[in-house]
A and B are shown apart, each in its own frame.
Chain A
Amino acid sequence: DTGVSQDPRHKITKRGQNVTFRCDPISEHNRLYWYRQTLGQGPEFLTYFQNEAQLEKSRLLSDRFSAERPKGSFSTLEIQRTEQGDSAMYLCASSLRAGGTDTQYFGPGTRLTVL
């Protein structure tokens, strides 16, 4: 399967713990996006990378959140000192920005539950 993959698929943690999620994009894609989705809502943009450069961060991304894409391939999203409000589905998407198009393909998501 050559689609976007995410690991883990599910994570249950206690409030105050740190968690890290991984995303592997489609191999030839230069852009990688992170979104958060809560129940009954559409995905909301968090941040994105073009190659290894982080180009934009949403106001939703508090100081406790950090994302990296060190070699321009896979990316990690870390949440420090988790809070119950962080419980959500975290989605990763990738795209090949070329010629004015930027169609994003999503991974299966990581569902985070903070107890």
Chain B
Amino acid sequence: GQQLNQSPQSMFIQEGEDVSMNCTSSSIFNTWLWYKQDPGEGPVLLIALYKAGELTSNGRLTAQFGITRKDSFLNISASIPSDVGIYFCAGLRYRDDKIIFGKGTRLHILP
């Protein structure tokens, strides 16, 4: 099925580094969502964005809804070991009433 273009596919960073990942689409979305998924668990909502240009923070996480409504990014500052996991972007168009997911960014933190 249709999916968003999420990059990078994976990241290897040192603890304490900042992280940036993004999501792009050829279509406009009304809502952008960022989820984190740990192995064997369901995705957990991190940040929801509802307006173009919106910049929202949740602790060390910051996400923005792109002005064109076709992209979004997520930043994590000062990474810690528990940030390890898969981060998914997801877009929602009201006419479709369903979320479309990216393929995920796998975050690894080097010891």
Contact = CB atoms under 8 A, between A and B. Distances in A.
Interface of A: 4, 6, 33, 40-45, 48, 55-56, 58, 60, 91, 93, 100-109, 111
Interface in B26-56: 30-31, 33, 35, 40-45, 48, 50
A42 B88 contact: yes
Contacts of B30: 100
Interface stretch (B11-19, B59-67, B69-77, B100-108): B100-108
Given A41-B103, A108-B41, A103 B88 contact: no
A55 B97 CA distance: 9
A45 B96 CA distance: 11
A109 B1 contact: no
A40 B41 contact: no
B98 A109 contact: no
A111 to B, nearest CB: 7
A106 B35 CA distance: 10
Contacts of A100: 30, 50, 94
Interface of B: 1, 3, 6, 30-31, 33, 35, 40-45, 48, 50, 88, 90, 92, 94, 97-104
B42 A42 contact: no
B57 to A, nearest CB: 17
A48 B96 CA distance: 11
Given A42-B3, A44-B1, A44-B101, A101 B31 contact: yes
Nearest to B102: A42
